[in-house]
Chains A and B, each alone.
Chain A
Amino acid sequence: MKKIIFLFLFILICSGITLAQTGTKKKRPLDFEYGRVVLNNYSEKTGFAPVVFNHWLHRAKFTCRLCHVDIGFAMKAGGTDIKATDNMNGYYCGTCHNGKATSTGSGKVFEACSKKFTADDGRRCERCHSLGKNVKPEYEFAQFTAKLPKERFGNGINWEKAESTGAIKLVDFLEGVSIKRPALAIQKDMSIDAKLEGMPAIIFSHKKHTVWNGCELCHPEIFIGVKKGATKYSMVEIFEGKYCGACHGKVAFPTIDCQRCHTTPVGG
């Protein structure tokens, strides 16, 4: 009897350990899924599938600043509180997706959430309201990115290199939306010492970041201090999506790609 109880307890403990170790491991997104945002503040409530927004396609054409500063998209999913009427009025997605030619040079952009709606428009709606639907995209990730420089992590594309080598040409100004401004005086690169002994220091390039973001996308919402060392943060906070993690790990290359930031050799 004792043996049976012992065996039962042994099996119970072993199965407990096994289950505890498997846990719920987060699935690594596929290349074309990386940076994907699902918008569902109002979609399902109004009978539509949630909107699937692919960052990769938009970041290949526009700077982050254009959408998150000039057009006004929040940095957190769902934070914009976008409604179909906003698009119809020519704001948010409707800024470019207006059925007209735009200053982006990419020709006619399909209209998002038009006021006039016909039975044939169902397919157009599904171009965005596509979660859980088998919608054939206009642009296919592998084909679209075939000639872009490659990287190990994220969605496998080195977007910074793609921009600096001219493989992609980013639009940073929309007539009637953006404000004409003088060119930004680039702040100097700075080094940030790693807290872990033996870990190479970080060289932070303002130049690389301002090409995509300008000033107000990062300051002061993400980085509070302007002086070096004013904002104290750790890798744990970055992994939690704060500071660098506001973009890196969500849309920009992920923080598991250590060498992209920790570039200075120790003692170098």
Chain B
Amino acid sequence: MNNNRGSRAIALAAVLVVLSGVPVLFDGGYAAAAAASSQDDWKKEFEDICSMTQDSMSLTPDELRSLVSRCDALRPRIEKLDESQRKVYLKRLQMCRDLLAFVLESKAGK
């Protein structure tokens, strides 16, 4: 009888430990996944915008304006990165933005 009670208590304790661990694990995993996703987000946006530079001459002024705005919106996110990444990607973003704005201006001047 006593043995039975002991086993039950152990089983209950194990269930509680497992249940309390799940949210912790889930939270940690979720945070890491969210951080990775956030990390990828800015880069994906950067690549989406700057992959258009080679086609910039064929884009409409509205499309170019939209891309320039997206560059401006992305800048503060890149400014929060560590120094090496920030230096490289701010320069790359600036070059990309400058080209898009330059093509936009040249189209507007026609």
Chain A residues within 8 Å of B, Cβ to Cβ: 69-72, 74, 80-81, 83, 85-86, 89-92, 179-185, 187, 214-217, 219-221, 224-227, 230
Contacts and interface: CB of A to CB of B under 8 A. Distances in A.
Prevailing SS type, chain A contact patch: loop
A225 B106 CA distance: 7
Interface in B61-110: 82-85, 87-89, 91-92, 95-96, 98-99, 101-103, 106, 109-110
14 contacts: A70-B92, A72-B88, A74-B91, A80-B87, A81-B87, A85-B83, A90-B84, A91-B85, A91-B87, A179-B51, A182-B55, A185-B58, A214-B54, A221-B98
B84 A86 contact: yes
Contacts of B47: 179-180
A181 B51 contact: yes
Nearest to A94: B84
Contacts of A187: 57
B12 to A, nearest CB: 49
A181 B46 CA distance: 13
Nearest to B101: A220
Contacts, number: 76
A215 B87 contact: no
Interface of B: 47, 50-51, 53-58, 82-85, 87-89, 91-92, 95-96, 98-99, 101-103, 106, 109-110
B99 A219 contact: yes
B96 A216 contact: yes
A180 B50 CA distance: 10
Contacts of B98: 216, 219-221
A226 B102 contact: yes
A69 B102 CA distance: 17
A68 B109 CA distance: 29
A183 to B, nearest CB: 8
Given A179-B47, A179-B51, A220-B99, 7 more contacts: A69-B92, A70-B92, A71-B88, A86-B87, A182-B55, A221-B98, A224-B102
A215 B99 contact: yes
- Most B Cβ at <10 Å: residue of A180, A183, A220: A220
Contacts of A179: 47, 50-51
B88 to A, nearest CB: 4
A70 B101 CA distance: 19
A216 B82 CA distance: 25
Nearest to A218: B99
Nearest to B106: A226
Q: Which 5 pairs show the lowest CB-CB distances between chains A and B?
A: A226-B106, A220-B102, A72-B88, A89-B84, A216-B99
B95 A69 contact: yes
B86 to A, nearest CB: 10
A91 B102 contact: no
Contacts of A69: 92, 95
A227 B110 CA distance: 9
Contacts of A185: 54-55, 57-58
A72 B91 contact: yes
Contacts of B53: 181, 214-216
Nearest to B89: A72
A227 B105 CA distance: 11
Given A179-B50, A179-B51, A221-B95, A72 B87 contact: yes
Given A220-B99, A226-B103, A182 B91 contact: no
B54 A72 contact: no
A91 B88 contact: yes
